[in-house]
Amino acid sequence: MLTIALAQMDIRTAQPESNLARARKFASQAQEAGADLLLLPELWLHGYDLEQAEEWAAPLGEGGFAQMADLAREFGLHLAGSLLERHAGGVSNTAVLYAPDGTLLGSYRKIHLFRLMQEHRYLAPGDHATLCPTPWGPTGLAICYDLRFPELFRTLALAGAVLFLVPAQWPVRRIEAWLLLARARAVENELIVAACNRVGNDGQVEFPGRSLVVDPWGHVLAEGDDQERLLVAQTNLREIRKARRYLTVYQDRRPDAYRVEPATSDQRPVSSNERPAS
């Protein structure tokens, strides 16, 4: 069994001290609930303040990343979420996963930048997927808009992932897509998805929460409302093996046939006036 906690935060833009206090409160609650893992939302420390991204960003191991490692150690949790990372190529929206002793298990720079939020103007995209080693099995990291790109998740699944962690700031106007895509990524890859969305309003966009944990069958094990709260879900990793034995999706894949060829003359559609009378 793996107990997953989701910190459905009301993030305060450009107020890192307030957001850190909220994260510490959620970490304490997760510890009390016996959680193995706590997932924070996307850009949980500073919010979506991309115009000030250079100011808020820090290298891995410093700033908010060091604070996450400290929280993991203080509360004895695996801890994940995304922050702004400064590196040689610029600033990236980077998801990280820490072990309970504060060790960084993996980092992932968001590959798919969301143009509607002007991410492409301020952020450098990542160029590879990341799979983190954990006691429960390989864990894939993704961020928000990535949910719309199933090829990223299938790549992680084929590499052995048993769990996807998806921190997000997904707006209320597209909430049905959020719920549908999270379940789809779990069902099509026959594994567990934990997706943590923020709540509140940043002055321009309203965020509805609705964080959720989904099992390999598409069952929602926990789902939030639009209020700030901690969600806790008990997940049974044996369900992954059961699902894959029952529906042999991985064995039945046909990558050799996944190509598109132009239609030949014998394959052209038959018009209605060419069809034989019945």
Show which residues are catalytic. 42, 110, 144
Count of CA atoms in the C-beta half-sphere (13 A) of 272: 0
Burial 168-186 (b: 16+ CB within 10 A, else e): bbbbbeebeebbebbbbbb
Using alpha carbons, list the distances in angstroms from residue 7 to 30, 41, 156, 158, 210.
9, 7, 24, 28, 11
Of 177, 179, 203, 191, nearest in space to 244 by CA: 191
Residue spans of beta strands (DSSP E) within the chain: 2-8, 37-39, 78-87, 90-98, 104-109, 131-132, 139-141, 163-168, 192-197, 199-201, 206-208, 212-214, 220-223, 229-235
67 φ/ψ angles, rounded to the nearest 5 degrees: -65, -35
